[in-house]
Structure 1
Amino acid sequence: MSRIISFNTADKADILGFLGAGNLTADQHQRLNSMHQAAEANQQDLERQDIDWGLSIPDALDHLIAGCADSRAECAGNAYYSALQHIIDCNASDPSDLGVYSKPGTFFGLLDDELRRLGVSDDLLPRGYLFSGPPREIPFRIPYPVDGTPDIGMLPLAKAKPAADAYSTALDQMDHAFTYDVQLLIDKLQFEHDEWASATERLDWYTQDTIFFSITG
């Protein structure tokens, strides 16, 4: 089954602020309403496909907001990751697509091997951040989806340009099977760096610091 990788940017602290939150601000309440609407629409789409995870996405969202992810349903992780993605999306920029891959874990694993061979440091290898999982600062464990989808990844915006530069340096020497996808990744990372650098310089209220990746399919 093909999987779609998309991404957006956000302030990681904004995401964490909804997980186990106590008294929500007026702005957070407004965002939470949007999250519930998105979760309900997502759940209705699953039901039209006769997919039952044993935990609804709206209920999973309520669990995360309450500060827990303790459902014993076999596919609870799928619902929790979907709910977390709605929290991310309602606090982030509009999403953009990176690409569609039949086996993204395998492809980016092989790409990591190629980039490592060409001298790219481990902390900049794409599979590591595309499949990093939720923020480690979340104070409770979220079970992993049983089939690995949806999945979540993260890259600090401060590493976008170092990653793009490292890939650019390696581009001419790598196996041609990877060059199209690597050039696409370079362009996306460079664009996000430029937007981040410009906004950080011009806007005193701008706090976005993380690229969040979503893998669905």
Structure 2
Amino acid sequence: MGYCLEMSTGDMRDVIRLLTAVERSEKQEHTLTVVRDRCARADAELRAQGADLTVTVPQALEELLDGTPSATESPAYTHAFHHLVAAHFSDTTDLGVWSRPSWFFTLDEELSRHGIPPELLPGTFLFSGPPLRLPHTGDAYPQIGTLPTPLAAPLADSYERVLPLLHPDYRETTHRFAELMRFEAQEWETARKLGQRQDTIFFWIG
């Protein structure tokens, strides 16, 4: 069994505004229609796989919008939040299928040995959780992580610096993250000059 790792970028404030809006704008209502459809399809797929959700993904979405989750433990809320983010963020970048995502914590140890600070370690930004409190998934996965976009450039710089020093087992993944973050840093600078605020890099493991 493997877990897909995906990445996208956007303005997390747009997601939070939709979740907390007292009166939604026409644009927000349109976005919500898209999200509801995605949640319904995701729910059908998960149930076909035999997932134990406790509540449906569409129900979890409505409860998040109302601020009243009825379950203390269910992956449905995490899936619903994922689709809320997807409706506001860029197209996803596929970072592969991982049989043991916990391997990233081993990579953390290698990077830490060479001076990479905690906030730039994969185990930090891949598993940091959503920017608001959700009921626990009840299992190790799916997982949500975020990285502030302004940290993309320092991350790329530091990974490029230590890359030649790493054990060969860790170089390919470190190089991939360095490339991705260099690109995201450039995109962020361009967006900032255009007055756009793509402040969050969002990670999904599921």
Q: TM-score range by the shorter chain?
A: over 0.9
Deviations 1:59-78 (A, max 9, x none): 00001111132325xx52x0
SS in 2 for 1:18: helix
Return the alpha-carbon distance in structure 1 between the equivalents of residues 122 and 135 of structure 2: 23
AA of the residue aligned to 1:213: F
Identity %: 34
SS at 1:212's partner residue? strand
Establish whether residue 127 from structure 1 lines up as the match of residue 123 from structure 2.
yes
Measure how far apart 1:160 and its partner are: 0.5
User: Following superposition, which runs of at least 4 residues in structure 1 exceed 2 angstroms of deviation?
Assistant: 18-21, 47-52
Helix, strand or coil at the partner of 1:213: strand
Alpha-carbon distance between aligned partners in 2 of 1:63 and 1:128, rounded to the nearest angstrom: 28
Helix, strand or coil: the match of 1:148?
Answer: coil
Unmatched runs of 5 consecutive residues or more in structure 2 = none
User: What SS does the aligned partner of 2:5 have?
Assistant: strand
Which of 92, 109, 112 does residue 89 from structure 2 map onto? 92
Length-normalised TM-score, structure 2? 0.96
- Distance in 1 between the 2:185 and 2:124 partners? 19
Contact 2:42 2:57 in 1 (8 A): yes
Matches within 5 A, 1:1-217: 1-72=1-72, 75-76=73-74, 78-105=75-102, 107-135=103-131, 138=132, 141-201=133-193, 203-204=194-195, 206-216=196-206
SS in 1 for 2:20: coil
**1:81 aligns to what SS in structure 2?**
helix
Measure, in 1, the Cα distance between the counterparts of 2:8 and 2:56: 25
Tell me, yes or no, if the aligned pair for 2:71 and 2:135 is still in contact at 8 Å.
no
> What is the CA distance between 1:6 and its match in structure 2?
0.3
Aligned partner of residue 144 in structure 1, secondary structure: coil
Shift of 1:24: 0.8
> In 2, Cα distance between the equivalents of 1:199 and 1:49?
40
CA distance in 2, matches of 1:163, 1:70: 39
What TM-score do the two structures reach when normalised by structure 1?
A: 0.91
Distance in 2 separating the partners of 1:27 and 1:90? 12
Q: Retained in 1: the 8 A contact 2:19–2:64?
A: yes
Return the alpha-carbon distance in structure 1 between the equivalents of residues 117 and 166 of structure 2: 15
| Alpha-carbon separation, structure 1, partners of 2:52 and 2:46 | 7
Unaligned runs of 5+ in 1: none
Shift of 1:119: 0.7
Check conservation: 1:167, 1:182, Cα contact below 8 A. Answer: yes
Q: Aligned partner of 1:160: which letter?
A: A
Cα contact 2:153–2:181 (8 A) shared by 1: yes
